[in-house]
Amino acid sequence: MASTTAPKRFAASVPAGRGERPEPRSTRLPDEIAPAQIHAVRQDLGRQLAAWRKAANVTQEELAKRTWYSRSTIANIETGRQTTTRRFWQRADRELGADGLLVKAFDQVDDLIRAYGAQMARAHELERQECTARHEPSGDVLGCGCARTVARWGGRETRALREALRMTVRAFAEYLGVTTATVGCWESKQSPKAPRLSTQDVLDQALKLAGADARARFWQLLE
């Protein structure tokens, strides 16, 4: 079951007069970084950049020229689609007069992303070991679903993942960083609504982080 431990607040802040920075929504499983947390902190970092840029009365085009990046890159960063390099954040911090706060915020997000990468590497190695041990006698590589992926997530697939993880709708929603109403829309029998493409990636990561037994249950539920 998902833990209800609240995520830590980032130390960096937005310019005065713009209100408190939106705090990332996330729920962790024990000793794990939830996939939705990475998406949330990237969005939070992007919001901080946009707040500092607007406070400095600088357009995306102007910031792009000053930092030697494209306007589309600035737009992608502000919407959480990417974080780019530390050099960008150093230049942006200097141009927007953030006094090191944007660099500090980037470093915190980068540390979390690196930790998530290490977690995924450990999960993949454990998966490889479990898969090898499970299939050595029979050679059935697809038997437990280790090498299978979901082409496109829909209501049937999301419900199967939730049940395979033994989660309630509320716990599953918190783990993914969405509302319970959103999960309800996915699983609706009358008019199911497919998850957005950005959420599809979060669901991919959640399936990868699931244990071998949960993945086996997932494919059994679908079949």
pLDDT in tens, 164-186: 988 888 888 877 777 888 899 99
Assigned domain for 134 exists: no
Q: Do 107 and 171 belong to one domain?
A: no
Is the model's pLDDT at 130 over the cut of 90? no
For residue 102, the enclosing domain spans 35-112
Assigned domain for 213 exists: yes
- The CATH code of the domain that includes 173 is 1.10.260
Confirm if 210 and 146 have CB atoms less than 8 A apart.
no
Confirm if 203 and 161 have CB atoms less than 8 A apart.
yes
Assigned domain for 125 exists: no
Taking the CA atoms of 154, 159, 165 and 168 in sequence, report the sign of the dihedral they define. Answer: positive
Return left, alpha or beta for 15; rule: phi > 0 is left, psi -120 to 50 is alpha, else beta: beta
Q: By percentage, how much of the chain surpasses pLDDT 90?
A: 25
Task: Name the domain boundary from 70, 94, 112.
Answer: 112
pTM confidence score? 0.53
Assigned domain for 153 exists: yes
Task: Name the domain boundary from 58, 91, 112.
Answer: 112
The domain total for the chain is: 2
